[in-house]
Amino acid sequence: MEQLIHWIIGYGWAAVAFVIYAESGLLIGFFMPGDSLIFTAGLLTQQGVLHINIHALAFILFAAAALGDSTGYAFGRRVGRRLFNRKDSLLFHKENLERAEAFYERHGGKTIILARFMPVIRTFAPIIAGIGKMRYRTFLAYNIVGALIWGAGITYAGYYIGQWATERGINIDAYLLPAVILVVITSILPPAIHMLKDAKGRAQLKAAWHHVIARMKR
């Protein structure tokens, strides 16, 4: 967490925006810590460490998330099914694409919103939407809602939690890591609950869990 803070301070809000853009729409972005990054950026803005207006930061990160998804959509639309024929590499694993496709087939357009809160899936979901030829107007509506809730919402959460702590004389540094973990867990809850309500969703989660355990045993 300390490294993340130093990284944000060192490179500033523009670098944060680029990471959010990359995580939302480029194949290189699936391993990036988007949730914790934008929460911490909002918190550091409140602390006066990151020198930018909170409303400007929230808008920039919202725009970066929305543009990232639109880039992913355009990429999927143009490259299409050829992606599934690519060999696995250091940064690209076809399995991640297939997971996103299965999620998209089950949940339809809502995937664009739900995927915002799911690492890996959020990178590949807009690409799958493009491959599936979802109408761009429909995609854009879901994209804007998801980017607003995730990109701006978590940024404001970091800022106002920092403000709440400051007003009560609480040393936020001592609680930063638990706060970030709580935000990440909270952000994952909506799609997790949505999936657990559905039998097929529960089966997908069970299969993913067994896959993780199998990899750990290798």
Using CA atoms, how far apart are residues 163 and 66, in angstroms rounded to an integer?
27
pTM given for the model: 0.73
Count of domains forming the chain: 1
Which DSSP string corresponds to 17-37?
A: HHHHHHHHH-GGGTTS-HHHH
User: What's the token pair of residue 182?
Assistant: 């709580």
Please give the residue range of the domain that contains residue 190: 2-217
User: What's the token pair of residue 186?
Assistant: 């909270």
Alpha-helical segments (H) within the chain: 2-25, 34-46, 54-79, 94-107, 111-114, 121-131, 136-147, 153-167, 172-196, 199-217
In this structure, what is the dihedral angle of CA atoms 169, 174, 178, 180, given to the nearest 10 degrees?
80
Quick one: which of 6, 30, 10 has its CA closest to 20? 30
Per-residue pLDDT tens listing for the chain (218 residues): 566 677 777 878 998 999 899 887 776 665 566 788 898 899 889 988 888 999 999 999 999 999 999 998 998 888 766 766 666 654 556 676 677 777 777 777 788 888 888 777 778 888 888 887 788 999 999 999 999 999 999 999 889 988 888 887 776 666 566 665 665 565 555 555 555 665 655 565 566 555 545 554 55
Using CA atoms, how far apart are residues 105 and 54, in angstroms rounded to an integer?
37
